[in-house]
Every structure is written in structure tokens, then in C-alpha cells.
Amino acid sequence: NAGVTQTPKFQVLKTGQSMTLQCAQDMNHEYMSWYRQDPGMGLRLIHYSVGAGITDQGEVPNGYNVSRSTTEDFPLRLLSAAPSQTSVYFCASSYSRVAGGSSTDTQYFGPGTRLTVL
Amino acid sequence: SQQGEEDPQALSIQEGENATMNCSYKTSINNLQWYRQNSGRGLVHLILIRSNEREKHSGRLRVTLDTSKKSSSLLITASRAADTASYFCATGTGWGKLQFGAGTQVVVTP
């Protein structure tokens, strides 16, 4: 299994440009999430999904859109990039349930996309 | 706002020594997890402790959880140079979402 894959690895945008960060997982996980990581900080949740067709906002959703048409893919769209969106973006997935109980929330992370907005 | 706060922010030790880092959180949790991040890489899950557990071991890792104090600690015994990384605590509520602390940067020198 490839696990969680993210493309591109690096991206430079100009203010106002749009782009989509791709995320895919081959573990048949129902839950998927996008986080951003800024220097000196932990990860902050942008958007998450509990299954195909179901998404919701996390802690820092402004400026980002998501959709989930398949179990495998969870793209993150920046509609009009701003310098404040310069960050490292991580996609993660997890099981919705484990044997004998509900989700443990254990996340499997992709390698990240380093985005710079000029 | 972040759920977890980690202490210390940075830790420098020599190989063979133990490394201890602490995490405090604010709200009720389903579980607490620790992750490691090597420079420039994604996070890797290390260990999970459920809210009804007090201590858990995995190899050289020992995690404790005190829900009355809303705190957890991670102990790495007999550290190695390869343990150099940032360590994050994260709290989960059971819906595939985590809230992370700011992390502890650990440097292990040979």
C-alpha cells in the first residue's frame, strides 16, 4: 500500500492565484483531514471528512474549500491565495471504527506539501 | 486555539539518557496520542492512550495520562541519535479529528 500520498511536494503561488492540493489514500479509511503547520506551532485542522460526500470545517477553514466525491480522494482548494496561507499542508486519514469500539482517531499522515505564497 | 500545550519546548540530551516531555490539555478527551515528526517529514503515530487508561508502554516509550489534571507525559528511555525529532501530543474525540500541541523539539547527541 502507498498509504497517504500528496501532490505536489512544493508549490509557489502569487497572491490571488488558485490551486488544488491533492490527497489520496489506499487504505479504505473513511475519515480524512487537512491540517496546516506553521513554524513553532503544531498542526491546525482546516477541514475534515467522515465519508464520501460529507465534509465539515475545522479550526482554520477560511480561504479553503474541500469536497469528497470518493473514499480515496480529498482535495484541498485555495480559491485566492494569500501570503498568510504560506505553510506546510498535511493530509491525514483514519479508520472510522476499530474492533470493539469507535474510531481511535489514529491518523496516518502524508508527506506534506510546502506552499509559499508571494 | 490549541488544545495541548507541551513542555519543554526544546530538550537536548545525550545518547543513553531518558527524555521526558509533558502535555496539558483543556477539554474532555476520548484519547491522547503522541506523534513524532522528523525534520521536513510527515507525522508518525507513536502511541495512543485512552481516557480510561493511566499508563501505557510500547518498546522504549512510556506514556502516562492523568485526566484529573488534564495532563500526559511521554518518556523515551535510553535515547538514541535517531530519536532526534519533534514530538507532538494530540487529543482525539472519536470523530477522526485531532487537536495538536505546539510540540517539543528533542535533540539527542552522540
Which CA distances in Å does B104 have to B4, B20, B38, B107?
11, 10, 12, 10
What pLDDT digit, counting tens, does each position of A19-51 carry? 999 999 999 999 999 999 998 778 999 999 999
Instruction: Return the closest-CA partner of residue B38 out of B76, B107, B81, B85.
Output: B85
10 Å CB burial of residue B2 (0-12, 13-18, 19+) is middle
Phi, psi (degrees; rounded to nearest 5) at A26: -115, 25
Q: Name chain A contacts of B94, Cβ cutoff 8 Å.
A: 102-103, 105
Supply the pLDDT for residue A55.
Answer: 96
**How many C-beta atoms surround the C-beta of residue B16 within 10 A?**
11
Q: How far is CA B5 from CA A50, A103, B59, B72, B84, in A?
A: 27, 24, 25, 10, 20
Residues of A in contact with B103 (CB under 8 A): 42
In whole angstroms, give the CA distance from residue A97 to residue A87. Answer: 31
Query: pLDDT digit string (tens) for B9-66?
Result: 999 999 999 999 999 999 888 889 999 999 878 899 999 998 999 999 999 999 999 9
